[in-house]
């Protein structure tokens, strides 16, 4: 009997020695790995934003090849949701409940993110740097969610303020996607115009599936707008500008940071994007800013696919997760979600590729306990996709 018990104990110990040793039994963490997930549209109407997820993947490869995080390698799980919230939900649940994900990074789109936000919160799964500037991430704030992207309504305010105060525009129209992403931009424009005693002269909404935009542009033209704020997909924005040129309707077009990849926009529009003014969330891609130079050389040049292009969408995938890496390092070798969240809350004055990032201990009444960045600057598209910086970083709280 004693020999049988001893044999059982020895056998059990041997089996356990072969199993991965979980850090404090934490989901998605072993002695050698940290599992991080992301969704991103590699196909569909928002495929132009798919390079965000590819940029994150290259950044994680670079981190792994430089020692990882306290000896652990990041195992990156990325899937294509086609900017379809139903696919986002299915993919996130499959990975979270099947593989086990420690935390989620980025994730493109307001509607896809909204579809999984509550699920991640209910399971206390950290989510850092949603690739969208939605107020929905932080109003009200959630303990597990840390936003790095400046708010869309703040970007809209900055653009309208510049148009009214610096350019003398008084007839502002808004063309927006009829979802949470577009409505964030519309709301910011309305609030800033009200502060100047003005109202929109037209508000024209688009559905994601809309392809014939001639009626939409005609409404904008009939409004007599001298500035049109575009808060749409890249494809919609390109079509609006192109159709407007053909209709000899040439207001000052302005747009969100999601359309601020100027080489891409110039290519798609065959040059008609020249002169458009955008807000942006990151240092200019061809600048000599140290982090730009570093990541272009060490991450993009080494790990990007041949057909990839260095631009703001690609390095947004780095920018939005830089604070995540900082917190993972500071959490130490005994990694748990609680330690990670605590370290995220300690991030102050962090400056990487984008605006300064600051978080605070969770406060349900303070959205800035989870909204890390509150600055943007404004740029104008020049010939060949070059960018002219019109302002310095400005606070847009």
Asked whether residue 125 falls in the same domain as residue 42, the answer is yes
What gap in Å lies between CA 361 and CA 366, rounded to an integer?
A: 10
Count CB neighbours of 345 within 10 A. 17
What gap in Å lies between CA 42 and CA 308, rounded to an integer?
A: 13
Asked whether residue 131 falls in the same domain as residue 27, the answer is yes
pLDDT-based confidence at 42, cuts 50/70/90? Answer: very high
DSSP per position, 95-148: IIIII--SEEE--B-HHHHHHHHHHHHHTT--EE--BS--GGGTSS--TTEEB-
Asked whether residue 385 falls in the same domain as residue 253, the answer is yes
How many structural domains is the chain composed of? Answer: 2
Asked whether residue 130 falls in the same domain as residue 171, the answer is no
Is 88 inside any structural domain?
yes
Is 56 inside any structural domain?
yes
Q: Domain range spanning residue 217?
A: 152-280+378-395
Q: For tokens 């962090």, what's the residue? A: 350
3-state secondary structure of 330: helix
Asked whether residue 293 falls in the same domain as residue 324, the answer is yes
Closest C-alpha to 254, from 229, 222, 235, 217? 229
What do you get for the CA distance between the two ends of the chain, in Å?
Answer: 73
Asked whether residue 317 falls in the same domain as residue 333, the answer is yes
Closest C-alpha to 328, from 97, 93, 59, 50? 59
Asked whether residue 42 falls in the same domain as residue 87, the answer is yes
350 DSSP assignment: B
* CATH code where residue 126 lies: 3.40.50.2300
Encode pLDDT of 209-259 as tens digits.
Answer: 899 999 999 999 999 999 999 999 899 999 999 999 999 999 999 999 999
- Which positions ≥6 away from 322 have C-beta within 8 Å? 350, 352, 353, 357
Confidence (pTM): 0.87
Give yes or no for a contact between 156 and 175, defined as CB atoms under 8 angstroms apart.
no
Is 63 inside any structural domain?
yes
Closest C-alpha to 61, from 278, 288, 321, 292? 321
Is 5 inside any structural domain?
no
Asked whether residue 138 falls in the same domain as residue 188, the answer is no
Asked whether residue 188 falls in the same domain as residue 271, the answer is yes
Encode pLDDT of 74-89 as tens digits.
Answer: 999 999 999 999 999 9
Least confident of 41-50, 117-126, 319-328: 41-50
Is 253 inside any structural domain?
yes
* Predicted local distance difference test score (pLDDT) of residue 11: 45
pLDDT-based confidence at 155, cuts 50/70/90? Answer: very high
* Predicted local distance difference test score (pLDDT) of residue 2: 46
Asked whether residue 323 falls in the same domain as residue 344, the answer is yes
Is 131 inside any structural domain?
yes
Asked whether residue 35 falls in the same domain as residue 110, the answer is yes
Give yes or no for a contact between 93 and 123, defined as CB atoms under 8 angstroms apart.
no
Is 9 inside any structural domain?
no
Asked whether residue 170 falls in the same domain as residue 207, the answer is yes
Give yes or no for a contact between 285 and 357, defined as CB atoms under 8 angstroms apart.
no
Q: For tokens 């707008």, what's the residue? A: 225
Is 13 inside any structural domain?
no
């Amino acid at each position: 009997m004693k020999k049988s018990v001893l044999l059982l104990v020895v056998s059990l110990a041997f089996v356990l020695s072969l199993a991965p040793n979980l850090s404090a039994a934490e989901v998605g963490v072993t002695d050698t790995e940290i599992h991080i997930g992301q969704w991103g549209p590699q196909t569909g109407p928002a495929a132009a934003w798919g390079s965000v997820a590819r940029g994150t993947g290259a950044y994680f490869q670079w981190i792994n090849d430089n020692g990882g995080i306290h000896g652990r390698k990041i195992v990156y799980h990325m899937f294509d949701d086609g900017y379809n919230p139903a696919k986002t939900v299915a993919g996130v649940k499959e990975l979270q409940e099947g593989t086990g994900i420690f935390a989620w990074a980025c994730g493109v789109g307001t509607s896809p993110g909204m579809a999984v936000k509550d699920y991640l919160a209910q399971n206390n799964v950290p989510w850092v740097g949603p690739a969208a500037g939605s107020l929905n991430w932080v109003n009200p704030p959630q303990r597990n969610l840390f936003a790095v992207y400046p708010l869309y309504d703040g970007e809209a305010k900055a653009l309208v303020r510049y148009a009214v105060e610096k350019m003398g525009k008084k007839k502002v129209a808004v063309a927006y996607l009829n979802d949470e992403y577009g409505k964030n931009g519309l709301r910011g424009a309305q609030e800033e115009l009200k502060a100047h005693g003005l109202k929109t002269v037209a508000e024209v909404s688009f559905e994601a599936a809309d392809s014939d935009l001639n009626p939409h542009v005609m409404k904008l033209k009939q409004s007599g707008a001298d500035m049109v704020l575009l808060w749409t997909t890249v494809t919609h924005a390109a079509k609006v500008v192109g159709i407007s040129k053909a209709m000899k309707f040439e207001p000052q077009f302005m747009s969100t940071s999601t359309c601020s990849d100027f080489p891409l926009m110039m290519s798609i529009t065959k040059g008609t994007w020249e002169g458009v003014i955008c807000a942006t969330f990151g240092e200019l891609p061809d600048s000599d800013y140290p982090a730009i130079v570093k990541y272009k050389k060490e991450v993009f040049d080494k790990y990007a696919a041949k057909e990839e292009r260095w631009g703001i969408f690609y390095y947004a995938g780095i920018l939005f997760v830089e604070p995540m890496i900082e917190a993972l390092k500071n959490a130490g070798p005994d990694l748990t979600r609680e330690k990670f969240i605590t370290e995220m809350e300690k991030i102050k004055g962090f400056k990487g590729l984008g605006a300064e990032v600051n978080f605070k201990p969770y406060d349900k009444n303070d959205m800035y306990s989870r909204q890390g960045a509150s600055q943007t600057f404004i740029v104008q598209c020049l010939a060949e996709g070059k960018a002219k910086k019109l302002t310095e970083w400005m606070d847009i709280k």
